[in-house]
Amino acid sequence: MQKSSGVLICCLFILATGFAQSSAPRFKVLVLYENGGHHIAYSRAARPWLDKLAADSNFSLHYIHNTDSVSEEYLRPYQLFIQLDYPPYTWPARAVKAFEAYIEKGKGGWIGFHHATLLGEFDGYPMWNWFSAFMGDIRFSNYIPTFANGTVVTEDSLHPCMKGLPAQFVIEKEEWYTYNKSPRPNVKVLASVQESSYQPPSSVTMGDHPVVWINTRYPARNIYIFMGHSPNLFQNTYYTTLFRNAIFWAAGSR
């Protein structure tokens, strides 16, 4: 009887240990999102989509809507930092220093969306020059305030972030930023938008117009995805495929 009890206890311990190991998240993600302004609808659509993906794929998410708490210690547990439609200004000095170290020392991966390239002098804040260099030495120039559909062209179909995407796909109702110059000389471009495809047509153009890129000059895996204004993007299978691929690649999970 004692032997049977011992075997039972041993089996229960193995089961409990196995459950604890299987329930541990594969990686931890910090998501910085906008909690106001005209991008809040995108953030509200992104959150349930991310929550479902995290639950299905066994990774954890923690959301913040400002950078007041960000420090090197605060970032330490996270293998991925998602800058979800949040601009590169209003960050306190401690957060700026911590983020730069996170990227320069390869402490985790980074995905930036849309508003992350709103680089310049805004609301009385100076331009974050380090971030401008990180994004390919660019500065925000203009945008299409009335929105336009545009055809995105895949330039590197072999990169893991572009897996499952066609040679071309349409993004609807986007603002399409322009910059003072193309970031191409300083980054690896994964996709660009065909400005001639804009519907309705627009005069807000820049010629060579990358919209998805990585910067291999930094140790951290990083990818910038320009598209990120409309909440309807989460009904676009190509967009969600790109987003999903980026998460697992930048977190070092594939």
pLDDT in tens, 168-220: 999 999 999 999 999 999 999 999 999 999 999 999 999 999 999 999 999 99
- Model pLDDT, residue 253: 63
Mean pLDDT of the chain: 92
Residue 239 has pLDDT above 50, yes or no: yes
Instruction: State the residue for tokens 């399409």.
Output: 176
Q: Which of 9 and 142 is assigned the larger pLDDT?
A: 142
Mean pLDDT, residues 83-112 taken together: 97
CA distance 186 to 192: 15
Mean pLDDT, residues 31-47 taken together: 90
Mean pLDDT, residues 1-22 taken together: 43
Query: pLDDT-derived band of residue 225, with 50, 70 and 90 as boundaries?
Result: very high
The type of residue at 43 is S
CA distance 52 to 202: 36
- What is the model's pTM? 0.90
Q: What angle do CA 144, 99, 208 make, to 5 degrees?
A: 30
The 3-class secondary structure across the chain, one letter per residue, is CHHHHHHHHHHHHHHHHHHHHHHCCCCEEEEEECCCHHHHHHHHHHHHHHHHHHHHHCCEEEEECCCCCCCHHHHCCCCEEEEECCCCCCCCHHHHHHHHHHHHCCCCEEEEEHHHHCCCCECCECCCHHHHHHCCCCCEEECCCCCEEEEEEECCCCCHHHCCCCCEEEEEEECCCEECCCCHHHCEEEEEEEEEEEECCCCCCCCCCEEEEECCCCCCCEEEECCCCCHHHHHCHHHHHHHHHHHHHHCCCC
- Model pLDDT, residue 37: 77
Q: What angle do CA 3, 5, 8 make, to 5 degrees?
A: 110
Q: What are the Cα distances from residue 101, in Å, to 21, 88, 187, 212? A: 31, 15, 20, 23
Q: What is the pLDDT of residues 120-167, one digit of tens each?
A: 999 999 999 999 999 999 999 999 999 999 999 999 999 999 999 999
Q: State residue 166 phi and psi, 5-degree precision.
A: -75, 175
- Model pLDDT, residue 36: 78
Residue 13 has pLDDT above 90, yes or no: no
Mean pLDDT, residues 226-254 taken together: 94
Mean pLDDT, residues 86-91 taken together: 95
DSSP bridge partners of 111: 82, 223
In the chain, the percentage of residues whose pLDDT exceeds 70 is: 91
Q: What is the pLDDT of residues 44-63, one digit of tens each?
A: 999 999 999 999 999 999 99
102 neighbors 72 (Cβ within 8 angstroms): yes
Instruction: State the residue for tokens 């989509």.
Output: 49
